[in-house]
């Protein structure tokens, strides 16, 4: 759980660029996005979410559709699976070496106990790689939403994963911990830099594949589409490994409903720039069975 004393805090790296640096402006911005979010018809809180991590101007309304589902949910920790955009981490999962992450809204403590347990389960896979976290935005951008819908006292487990080949191992390790009241968030944008129409087509297909709940098929599907060389397509989803790990985890937790909550791309906000866009999707994973809803609470280990 959260440390009693915070010694080492990661400062915000993208405040003032991806989201407002002013605490008041940031709180107002996030709250407005949440207030405009729709309501899911699901009868159970989510086990896991997919949310984008671009600048709030472009993707904040999509992220809000995911995080609105979590408001006042009994959560003891949030595991955030992000992607290392700038620092090579290979097949490893990069852990942070800090006690907390800071945003303009306050301090998010890191559940260092869970990080230690993950390293004990698989020290080859889970490694502290501070340099990967230093300037990375994929986890940071999600934090203000969590600070408002939950609180900044709920600890996070910040994990960066780039290699889809280890997605199943990541999910197995998290499942092995058998953590109660734990939310998983996969931080990922979708297609990068195709035209507006190609992005809509590609991302609609990706979201439909996610709804099947089959991560191996999603990865294979993305590889085949990339080979087809869609004009300007850099990637189908930058956080493919994070999404695949979340899908594996949801299967292990017997999530029986996967719902696409929202889709948009940067061309919707900036129509003058529809020749190269980035896609954003929000997805929820739910266990709506009576047993699943009954097992959402328990004694934390």
Residue 207 CB-half CA count within 13 A: 24
Burial per residue of 53-73, b for 16 or more beta-carbon CB atoms within 10 angstroms, e otherwise: bbbbebbbbbbbbbbbbbeee
Give the N- to C-terminal CA distance of the chain in Å, as an integer: 10
Rounded CA-CA distance 93/47 in Å is: 21
156-161 β-sheet, strand order = 126-128, 93-95, 156-161, 77-82, 182-187, 46-51, 279-286, 257-265
pTM for the full model?
Answer: 0.93
Mean of all residue pLDDT scores within the chain = 92
pLDDT of residue 301: 35
pLDDT confidence bin for 227, thresholds 50/70/90: low
Minimal CA–CA distance to 202: which of 263, 251, 156?
A: 263
pLDDT confidence bin for 38, thresholds 50/70/90: confident
Average pLDDT over residues 75-87: 97
pLDDT confidence bin for 251, thresholds 50/70/90: very high
pLDDT of residue 160: 98
Average pLDDT over residues 53-76: 95
pLDDT of residue 296: 45
Q: What is the pLDDT of residues 259-287, one digit of tens each?
A: 999 999 999 999 999 999 999 999 999 98
Rg of the chain on CA atoms, in Å = 18
Q: What is the pLDDT of residues 136-157, one digit of tens each?
A: 999 999 999 999 999 878 999 9
Q: What is the pLDDT of residues 101-131, one digit of tens each?
A: 999 999 999 999 999 999 999 999 999 999 9
pLDDT of residue 203: 96
pLDDT above 70 covers a percentage of the chain that reads 92
Rounded CA-CA distance 206/19 in Å is: 27
Average pLDDT over residues 39-64: 91
Rounded CA-CA distance 154/160 in Å is: 19
Q: What fold does the segment set 9-294 form as a domain?
A: Protocatechuate 4,5-dioxygenase; Chain B (3.40.830)
């Amino acid at each position: 759980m959260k440390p009693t004393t915070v010694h080492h805090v990661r400062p915000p790296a993208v405040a003032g660029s991806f989201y407002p640096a002013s605490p008041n402006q940031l709180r107002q911005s996030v709250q407005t996005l949440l207030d405009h979010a729709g309501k899911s018809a699901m009868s159970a809180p989510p086990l896991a979410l997919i949310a984008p991590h671009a600048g709030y101007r472009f993707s904040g309304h999509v992220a809000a559709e995911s995080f609105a589902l979590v408001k006042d949910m009994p959560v003891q920790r949030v595991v955030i699976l992000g992607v290392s955009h700038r620092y090579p981490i290979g097949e490893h999962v990069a852990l942070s070496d800090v006690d907390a992450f800071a945003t303009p809204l306050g301090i998010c403590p890191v559940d260092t106990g869970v990080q230690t347990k993950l390293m004990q389960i698989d020290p080859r896979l889970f490694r502290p790689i501070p340099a990967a976290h230093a300037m990375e935005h994929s986890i940071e951008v999600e934090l203000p939403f969590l600070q408002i819908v939950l609180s900044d006292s709920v600890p996070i487990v910040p994990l960066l994963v780039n290699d889809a080949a280890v997605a199943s191992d990541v999910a197995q390790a998290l499942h092995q911990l058998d953590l109660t009241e734990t939310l998983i968030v996969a931080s990922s944008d979708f297609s990068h830099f195709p035209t507006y129409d190609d992005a809509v087509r590609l991302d609609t297909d990706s979201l439909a594949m996610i709804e099947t709940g089959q991560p191996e098929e999603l990865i294979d599907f993305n590889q085949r589409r990339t080979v087809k060389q869609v004009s300007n397509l850099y990637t189908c989803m930058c956080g493919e490994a994070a999404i695949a790990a979340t899908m594996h985890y949801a299967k292990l937790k017997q999530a029986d409903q996967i719902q696409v909550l929202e889709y948009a791309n940067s061309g919707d906000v900036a129509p003058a720039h529809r020749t190269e866009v980035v896609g954003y999707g929000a997805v929820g994973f739910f266990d709506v069975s009576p047993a699943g809803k009954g097992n959402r609470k328990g004694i934390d280990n």
